[in-house]
Amino acid sequence: MAATPEPMLLPAVLRGDMDGAAYPILPPRNADSAGGLLSVERDLSGVDGADLKATWDARLGSREFPYRSGVWRYRELIAPFPDDDIVSAPEGNTNLYCGEGINRCPGCRIGGCRLANWAGVERLALKHEGENPTASFKDRGMTAAISHARHAGATTVACASSGNTSASLAAYASKAGMRALTFIPEGKITAGKLGQTLAYGAQVVQVQGDFDAAMTLVQEVAATEPVFLANNINPFRLEGQKSIVFELLQQRHWVAPDWLVLPGGNLGNTSALGKALIEAYELGLITKLPRIATIQAAGASPFAQWFERGFDHYEPMQAETVASAIRIGNPVSRHRARRIIQRTGGVVLALPDAELLAAKRQIDHAGIGCEPASAASLAGIKALRERGIIQPGDDIIGILTGHVLKDAEATERIHITGADARPPIVIEPTLAAVQRVLADG
Ligand code: F0G
């Protein structure tokens, strides 16, 4: 087998959102001089898109560190860290369900994709980021952030979280031999995510307040204490998450979809996926720029409301939704996400919890499964189709952000106690009892 191509480690700088200044990637910093966020910027003028595709294609199937990771395969556009600083599980390499053929499911070969039919569209695929090592898309950003922390010599890392970032940080910090603190809203994350975080050995700090209060607190902690902040304020988190786009484009042989639809909470993912699409387009890896649709829960929809007002008068809100992962009232990445929506001709939509849960039920019953926040993608596709914004023949990718096992409480609510639920039944251990169950259909 041919050797894996050597990386072109493109130097990167951090560009301030507010002051426009360039900062080095070390020492790590969380804001520019005017308090704006920082984004990774690199000079792509000398990069040949065809060479990059060939390099990435040659790494497919590699068993070598770090290229077997579905993040570090795209290393040139992720981070210029040396091998020794990369902390990888490995992550990524997630499935793209259905799609390709019109209304047909090449994976299962049965045909007539139920989920596409339900949403009223013909060409739909779902990329399941719940298939990452800690069962959410967060691992893609976390491998990059913790590698940045190692590059910086950090020994303590922290984040605020609605649960998934917390579990991911705990796992990667453990691999890197770092101390991890996660700040979560007291009593507001699922038992599964809390259990995962504790199991991986992090110190959980329950904050008496909501996610937004925990986020404000951890930023204050990182500004005054020797603690590396691993929220999506860390610019390399977003670089890692960009690999969702690179990987799905590669899975589709570099044919861009018309739409990319995803849930929105703190809006790091909208920012990251948009940045990746723009880079892929500017490098000629794809020939059109897909539109991004960000879907929020109605009870946690400050970004959707801002969009409705033509991005005038932003107002945070007190968030409440069954989708605890996106129960966020003041998303920190809203400005960069706004630029992405504007640049891609995207849309932002808020949907009631009932629609998220109805979509989750469909995804679960299709044998794919996801947590409630992830179901916003399919719910959004259906709603955008009904509103005539998505056309029936559009080529659509929905992102499923977290695994069905992340939220057993929601599973119970829909599949055990909910209307049309099929709860488990108890029988005597006899053939006759089983025959009665079979006869019931
Ligand atoms: N879906 C899931 C399953 C999530 O956990 C999150 C965010 C999102 C969607 C929204 O992504 O914030 O980039 O817009 N969870 C964060 C956390 C906030 O702490 O785990 P976003």
Query: Which domain, by its residues, includes 9?
Result: 1-135+236-441
Look at residue 162 and tell me if it is in a domain.
no
Q: Is 369 in the pocket of ligand 1 (CB under 6 A)?
A: no
Look at residue 213 and tell me if it is in a domain.
no
| φ, ψ (nearest 5 deg) of residue 12 | -125, 150
Spell out the alpha helix ranges (H) of 298-424. 302-308, 334-343, 353-365, 376-386, 408-411
pLDDT at res. 112: 54
Look at residue 170 and tell me if it is in a domain.
no
Number of domains in the chain: 1
Look at residue 383 and tell me if it is in a domain.
yes
Look at residue 387 and tell me if it is in a domain.
yes
pLDDT at res. 275: 98
pTM of whole model > 0.85? yes
pLDDT at res. 6: 76
Q: Among 129, 132, 140, 162, which is best to mutate for testing ligand 1, by the most ligand atoms less than 8 A from CB? A: 162
Q: How far is the CA of 402 from the centre of ligand 1 (A)?
A: 9
Look at residue 172 and tell me if it is in a domain.
no
Look at residue 40 and tell me if it is in a domain.
yes
Q: Is 163 in the pocket of ligand 1 (CB under 6 A)?
A: yes
Look at residue 315 and tell me if it is in a domain.
yes
- The domain that holds 421 is classified in CATH as 3.40.50.1100
Q: How far is the CA of 428 from the centre of ligand 1 (A)?
A: 44
pLDDT at res. 5: 72
Which residue has the CA at smallest separation from atom 15 of ligand 1?
325
Which residue has the CA at smallest separation from atom 7 of ligand 1?
325
Q: Which of 268, 310, 276, 275 is nearest to 37 (CA)?
A: 268
Q: Residues of the chain whose pLDDT is less than 50?
A: 1, 100-104, 106, 109
Which residue has the CA at smallest separation from atom 10 of ligand 1?
265
* Three-state SS at 97: strand
pLDDT at res. 102: 41
Q: Is 325 in the pocket of ligand 1 (CB under 6 A)?
A: yes
Between the CA of residue 261 and those of 77, 238, 281, 376, what are the distances in Å?
Answer: 22, 17, 18, 9
Q: Is 241 in the pocket of ligand 1 (CB under 6 A)?
A: no
